[in-house]
Chains A and B, each alone.
Chain A
Amino acid sequence: MAQIFSAGADTSLKLFLVGAAVAIVAGFVLLGGFVGSGYRTNVGFRPAQPVPFSHKHHVGGLGLDCRYCHAAVEVSAAAGFPPTHTCMTCHSQLYTDAAMLAPVRQSMANNRPLHWSRIATLPEYVYFDHSIHIAKGVGCSTCHGQIQEMPLAYTAKALTMGFCIGCHRDPAPYLRANEAEVFDMNWRPASDQHAAGERRMAERGIAGRNITDCYTCHR
């Protein structure tokens, strides 16, 4: 009776099993890499804008407050984008004929709004509210990164559910002392941050509340 299995069959089977195991592990590693990658989370997403507005120049250099343009951030869910009028408060006097600013002037002249591209987006079923985060002492840079160093703004942090819920589970490391700190783009936690943060949680009515409940963000 002829041999059913050749001499190398054992080796082939072992190779196959090892290969399969490697493939499965590699699959999970790749999947993990993909899920965390900028490709999926949008980190580093830097779309072209109608005007190459530089936060580095305006915020880092000139020291404009965030709220000069994103005026609704303390009272509304949306921070708001500046109307063309806001740009023109300065640029009707400064760089009035810069080619770079032509779209702004045209927008004003023709009463046609500018179309900016958003760099911080959330899925439709997530209802984020800027105002309450500001009121409780979560600073801009916590989610938006070092905007004041960006010549052209890009997505600095992965705004995933894991990112949100990490803070909602333990807000203390992120709670800043006061309004000035909230809008300070260079804020760094102090050495006693955790103790101070827990004190702030108690003061601001965050302690003892379940802010990881689904309906906090989803409706």
Chain B
Amino acid sequence: MVDTPADRLGNLARQGGRRFWRGLEEWIDDKAAQDWLAAEFPAAFDEGIGRRQLLKIMAASVAMTGLSGCGPAPEIPAVPYVTQPVDYIPGMPRWFATAIPFDGYAQPVLAECHAGRPTRLDGNSLHPMSGVNIAAFTQAAVQQLYDPERSSAVTFRGRITTWDVFAAALQEERHRLLKGGGKGLRILTGPQSSPTFLRQMTALRGIFPEMRWHGHWSVGGSRSEASYKAFGRVLQVTPRLDRAVVAVSLEDDILGPGPLQISAARRWAGQRRKGQGFPLLFVAESTPTLTGAMAHRRIATASGRIPLLAAALSGLRPQLTPAEAAWVQAVQQAVKDNPGGAVVSAGVHQPADVQASCMAQAHRWGEPGRTVSYSEPVVIEPDAGFAELVADMRAGQVRTLLMFDVNPVYATSGVVDFAGALARVPFSAHAAGIYDETAALSQWHLPMAHPLESWSDCRAADGSVTILQPLIAPLRQGRTIHQILDGLAGQPDPDAFTPVRATWQSKLEERAWRQALEDGRAPDTAFAEVAVAPRPMSPSAGAAPPPGTEVVFRPDPSIWDGRFANCTWLQELPKPASKVVWDNIVAVSPAMGRKLQVDTGQVVEVEVEGRQLRGPAWILPGQAAETVTLFFGYGRQRGGSISEGLGYDAYPLLPARPGASWAGRITRIGENHHLVSTQLHHAIDGQDLVRIVAPGEGIDDAAETTVGHPGLPTLYPRYPYPGHAWGMVIDNDLCIGCNACVIACQAENNIPSVGKDQVAVSREMHWLRIDRYYEGDLDHPYTHFQPVPCMHCENAPCELGCPVNATVHSPEGVNEMIYNRCIGTRTCATYCPYKVRRFNYYFFTRQAAPLEWAHRNPEVTVRARGVMEKCTYCIQRIAKARIVADREGRAIADGAVQTACQNACPTSAIVFGNLNDSQSAVAGRRGSRRNYGLLDQLNTWPRTTYLARIRRKGAGEA
């Protein structure tokens, strides 16, 4: 038992007693944490209201309720169309294919539209890069669309003005520029792949030959230099995890958040689903990532030592630590055992030489075109980089600067004084969806249309083009980048549609154009694979980094570079490794925590090149011993009231020169920061929550008698389910912990965000949570993810507890929650061994701004204060499918009901369906020898079960 922080840190050194543990508190048997977990109502806390005050409020509310209960129903208007669109059926959603661009890559989506309001996004099932799957970031686009703090007016020097005034100013500026052939005209964008943008830039270069286009990468960067070094041309290099048997990641978070996550995760799952534990992932990284969590063999090593590992993999003999050498040897053995089936990839932040040598190595290891594929690059190379732009701005060579959807004042190294350089530009205009730091310092700020309000086009990971079509007229008088560029080209009144249609005029005649819009994918636009040969390269052995602390920078897994900072969904999304919400952390290793006597939550000062910042430390199991990781995206000055004032800003510490890691110092400050993490919330008390088997092996049969079979004795009769028996099986072997399902559930089921203070007392409302378990030792743990929705127990303890029958069982085995019956005793929640019930302590849904009401799903009740809620197996989707099938007099086909979490999951870890149908996918999984129920010893007969994770022999930590 541990009481003081010093004891805690001292105990980090000892061997933990448990095999699986959720956090340091469990590793070291923290007494306070255990007391907190053991409390009957861990969420009960002091609201700052006295007893008398509470009674007064209660009396008043009773009186008010009585009054408001009387009275006739209000008049509810019905507002039909004047002319109804041909394919519109009142009460039915319509679906439109479009895409959400993310760092130049289209994320194909199908948008659900209720009476003209986009309410939710799914992946585009016709698109091979996404299928129906969709990442958390992409889904949050709907919340961004209805963000009441989106920029709503053109401003000039901070004062509100109109588009007409800007148009006039732009025309004036244009005439001035024409005289000099466009000298001094600069355009700054993020990564772009839009053919219309490319066409417009070509046209603009005809008008302004001296114009230059600069690209700004807020995180990561381009692989163009590396691919040029390796193959002599700029290429899109895609590791084919669907074909590879051995995959080596040198700090490349292939499965982690980012624009390529969905396509990569789908490929990985394609191989993984074969059940043999392939691809064997070998991961070397400094900071735990989702890829690392899926690793067969992971090594935590400094980011600065990755080049050494790359050199070792290409046959050189750099000086390695014994652990590194063992890891390299294991990789080489695996490659030898699986000839032609290996691939290797280095992180985009690693030096181009290292990336290039990995690309060449992957080419040597894999059979041609099998484990890695090459195509034209999706993201278009800009004329020049960001550094050149800043140099020119300082030198006074930039007269006119147009910035589109970038925030360089915030998302730039602290050494680069972009704000100072911007002040020297006579005409600066910043177009973005939100009035951010850059907007405040630019002369003009222009509200930009949201992708769901825009005509545009964008290439997906395979190069195929999706035409973006608007689902709603701009809510905030935003315009698209194409409109503004057309204005620059001299169009007096540019509209959004014409420039995009013009690009495709010759390639898609009207029919094909409409088909491309309907499909969400223009035909014959995907890039063909190209055959290449690596250039001869002399592999460099790489120099060992100086000993001591290294500092690395990463995008935040939930907020990225800060562009999602005003999204409550994403702020409240527990970050996969730390489960922290509403904050960023300074990740340090357990060893460093011991050394510095810094505990989780204590503020540390990190110094790089003489610049300092302070942030809360987080002792992260699996972090490389000497690595300090800082996360971008927080510490926003402007960007909406949700984003401001949270966390620390890592950008000022970021050096200007490119690199993967920097020597730094970290010191303990000592004060505490109130960090909120959900890692111990809703903790299940029990054994064998995570199970692991070898390929082909089943869970011990003797232990597996209670799930789905008559098992332990019970006094209750088994209820027959002659019709449908809905059930879900979650394959732990496929879950990468990406959180897509959590946001999908939130979007589908109108789940509110509750804020940091409420999460701190376990009141988060997510119906589906992802439990993260560590296995093994503190410095090199395995990581397991386990999504936990309601188990829909056939023998449900919660149902016994409810005094008003507000939670009952359906004839199809769904554990129902009837909101209008619930009186809020919370008994069911205390009876639930899985801790999946959520209570509305406040009227969260009424506090939302009216604009936010628009993205609620009309098929799901919006819950009020004082009622319990939980996963319903997306009962609205079951009801809809049943009605359609029933109307046509047929059975519900397998797959006709897909839950929101199942749709979103890029690895198909979640399967839902009718257990009574022996041909259904879910029954197939249920019959797997890997199938087990959580806490099945409690005799709850859960309808949601899990498949054990597969681990091949030889897995181990270096």
Residues of A at the B interface (CB closer than 8 Å) are 39-40, 42, 45, 47, 72, 75-85, 107-108, 111-118, 121, 123-125, 127, 129, 131-132, 135-136, 204-205, 209-210, 213-216, 218-219
Q: Is the pair B860, A209 in contact by a Cβ cutoff of 8 Å? A: no
- Do B91 and A77 touch (CB < 8 A)? yes
Interchain CB contact under 8 A, A81 and B90: yes
14 contacts between A and B (CB under 8 A): A40-B70, A45-B73, A72-B92, A75-B89, A76-B91, A76-B92, A80-B90, A115-B78, A115-B79, A116-B80, A121-B76, A135-B887, A136-B886, A213-B810
Q: Which residues does chain B contribute within 8 Å of A112, judged by CB atoms?
A: 82
Cβ of B861 within 8 Å of any chain A Cβ, yes or no, is yes
- Verify if B694 is at the interface (C-beta below 8 Å from A): no
B819 contact set on A, CB distance < 8 A: 125, 218
* Pairwise interchain contact A218-B77, C-beta atoms closer than 8 A: no
CB distance from A180 to the nearest CB of B (A): 18
- A83 close to B810 (CB less than 8 A): no
Q: Which residue of chain B has its CB nearest to the CB of A85?
A: B83
Closest residue of chain A to B863, judged by CB? A125
Interface pair A45/B820, CB less than 8 Å apart? no
Minimum CB–CB distance for B809 against chain A, Å: 9
Query: How far does the alpha carbon of A214 sit from the alpha carbon of B816 in the complex, in Å?
Result: 8
Bound-state Cα–Cα, A80 to B90, Å: 5
In the complex, the 7 A-B pairs of residues with the closest C-beta atoms, listed nearest first: A78-B91, A80-B90, A81-B80, A76-B91, A83-B84, A83-B81, A135-B887
CB of A113 within 8 A of CB of B92, answer no
Q: Would B879 and A219 count as touching, CB distance under 8 A? A: yes
CB distance from A45 to the nearest CB of B (A): 7
Q: Of B78, B90, B876, which is within 8 A of A76 by CB?
A: B90
Asked if B887 and A131 make an inter-chain contact with CB atoms under 8 angstroms apart, the answer reads yes
* Distance to closest chain B CB from A154 (angstroms): 13
CA distance A131 to B92 in the complex (A): 12
Bound together, the chains give a CA A72 to CA B816 distance in angstroms of 30
Known contacts: A78-B91, A125-B820, A219-B876. The answer to whether A39 contacts B72 by CB under 8 A is yes
| Distance, CA A40 to CA B72, complexed state (A) | 5
Say yes or no: A80 contacts B810, CB within 8 Å. no
Interface residues of B, dominant DSSP: loop
Q: A117-B78, A214-B810 are in contact. List 4 more A-B contacts (CB 8 A).
A: A47-B75, A85-B84, A123-B820, A215-B879
| B346 at interface, CB cutoff 8 A | no
Whether A219 pairs with B861 at a CB distance below 8 angstroms is yes
Give Cα distance in the complex from A81 to B862, angstroms. 24
Which of the residues B92, B814, B862, B887 comes within 8 Å of A215, measured between beta carbons? B814
A175 to chain B minimum Cβ distance, whole angstroms, is 14
B residues sitting closer than 8 Å to A (CB atoms) are 70, 72-73, 75-84, 89-92, 723, 808, 810-811, 814, 816, 818-820, 859-862, 872, 875-876, 878-879, 883, 886-887, 889
Name the residue on A nearest B722 (C-beta).
A208
Known: A85-B82, A215-B816. A117 touches B75 (CB 8 A): yes
Contact check, B879 vs A75: say whether CB atoms are below 8 A apart. Answer: no
Given A76-B92, A131-B887, A218-B861: A83 in contact with B83 (beta carbons within 8 A)? yes
Q: State the majority secondary structure of interface residues on A.
A: loop
Closest CB in chain B relative to A6 CB, distance in Å = 37
Chain B residues within an 8 Å CB radius of A216: 879
Closest Cβ of chain A to B135, distance in Å, is 27
Interface centre among A112, A123, A132, A218 (most CB of B within 10 A): A218
A215 cross-chain contacts in B, Cβ below 8 A: 810, 814, 816, 872, 875, 878-879
With A117-B76, A124-B862 known to touch, is A205 a contact of B82 (CB < 8 Å)?
no
Q: Select the residue from B90, B816, B889 with max chain A CB neighbours within 10 A.
A: B90
Say whether A127 contacts B879, CB under 8 Å.
yes
In the assembled complex, the CB of A60 is this many whole angstroms from the nearest CB of chain B, namely 22
User: A116 vs B75: C-alpha distance in the bound complex, in angstroms?
Assistant: 10
CA distance A42 to B74 in the complex (A): 10
Decide if A129 touches B883 in the complex (CB within 8 Å). Answer: yes
Is B80 a contact of A114 with CB atoms below 8 Å? Answer: yes
Contact status of A132 and B883, CB under 8 A, knowing A214-B816, A219-B860: yes
Bound complex: CA of A76 vs CA of B883, how far in Å?
Answer: 10
Q: Are A72 and B91 in contact (CB under 8 A)?
A: yes
B530 CB, nearest partner CB in chain A, Å: 49
| A83 touching B82 in the complex, CB below 8 Å, given contacts A117-B75, A118-B77, A215-B814 | yes
Q: List residues of chain B with CB within 8 A of the CB of A125.
A: 819-820, 861
Measured in the bound complex, the distance between the Cα atoms of B257 and A216 in whole Å is 39
Instruction: Tell me the smallest distance from the CB of B894 to a CB of chain A, in Å.
Output: 19
Q: CB-CB < 8 A to A75: which residues of B?
A: 89, 92
| Candidates A45, A77, A80, A81; contact of B72 at CB < 8 Å | A45
A36 to B734, CA, bound (A): 56
A140 to B337 Cα, complex, angstroms: 72
Are B73 and A127 in touch, CB under 8 angstroms?
no
Q: Are B79 and A114 in contact (CB under 8 A)?
A: yes
Which residues from B are CB-within-8-Å of A108?
A: 82
> In whole angstroms, how far apart are the Cα atoms of A86 and B286 in the complex?
66
Residues in A neighbouring B814, C-beta threshold 8 A: 215
Contacts of B811 in A (CB 8 A): 209-210, 213
Tell me if A83 and B80 are in contact (CB < 8 A): yes
Contact B872 A219 (CB under 8 A): yes
Contact call A121/B818, Cβ cutoff below 8 A: no
The distance in angstroms between the C-alpha atoms of A76 and B859, with both chains bound, is 13
Instruction: Provide the residues of chain B in CB contact with A116, threshold 8 Å.
Output: 77-80
Please name all residues of chain B whose beta carbon is closer than 8 Å to the beta carbon of A127 when the two chains form the complex. 859, 876, 879
Are B89 and A218 in contact, with the CB atoms below 8 A?
no
Q: How far is the CA of A136 from the CA of B90 in the complex (A)?
A: 20
Q: Are A80 and B883 closer than 8 Å at their CB atoms?
A: no
Query: A204 vs B887: C-alpha distance in the bound complex, in angstroms?
Result: 9
Alpha-carbon gap, A116 to B81, bound state (A): 12
- Given known pairs A45-B72, A135-B886, A205-B886, the reply for A80 and B80 (CB within 8 Å) is yes
User: A residues within 8 A CB of B820?
Assistant: 123, 125, 218
The interface centre, meaning the residue of B73, B818, B872 with most chain A CB atoms within 10 A of its CB, is B73
User: Contacts of B883 on A, CB cut-off 8 Å?
Assistant: 129, 131-132
Give Cα A80 to B92, complex, Å: 10
B306 to chain A, nearest CB (A): 51
B938 to chain A, nearest CB (A): 25
From residue A18, how far is it (CB to closest CB) to chain B in Å?
Answer: 27
B886 & A118 in contact (Cβ 8 Å cutoff): no
Q: How far is the CA of A82 from the CA of B883 in the complex (A)?
A: 24
- Residues of chain A with a CB closer than 8 A to B861's CB: 124-125, 218-219
When chains A and B are docked, how far (Å) is the Cα of A42 from the Cα of B859? Answer: 24
Contacts of B887 in A (CB 8 A): 131-132, 135
Closest to B805 in A: A214
Q: Tell me which residues across on chain A come within 8 A of B808, comparing CB atoms.
A: 214
- Among B811, B860, B878, residue most surrounded by chain A Cβ atoms (within 10 Å): B811
CA distance A81 to B77 in the complex (A): 11
Residues of B within 8 A of A84 (CB): 80-83
Q: Which residues of B contact A219 (CB under 8 A)?
A: 859-861, 872, 875-876, 879
| B82→A80 contact, CB < 8 A | no
Given contacts A76-B90, A83-B83, A215-B814, contact A121 B73 (CB under 8 A): yes
CA gap between A142 and B432 in the complex, in Å: 55
List, in ascending order, chain A residues with CB within 8 A of B878's CB: 215
Q: Which residues of A contact B80 (CB under 8 A)?
A: 80-84, 113-114, 116
CB distance from B824 to the nearest CB of A (A): 15
Closest to A113 in B: B79
Nearest A residue to B873 by beta-carbon distance?
A: A215
Instruction: State how many angstroms separate the Cβ of A201 from the closest Cβ of chain B.
Output: 13
A52 CB → nearest B CB, Å:
16
Chain A residue at minimum C-beta to C-beta distance from B890: A205
Does B90 lie within 8 Å of A78, measured CB to CB?
A: yes
Bound-state Cα–Cα, A34 to B666, Å: 72
Closest to B80 in A: A81
In the bound complex, how far is the Cα of B861 from the Cα of A218, in angstroms?
Answer: 8
Contacts of B879 in A (CB 8 A): 127, 129, 215-216, 219
- What are the residues of chain B within 8 A of A107 when measuring CB–CB? 82
Report yes or no: B77 in contact with A115, Cβ–Cβ below 8 A. yes
For B84, list chain A residues within 8 Å (CB).
83, 85
CA distance A9 to B878 in the complex (A): 67
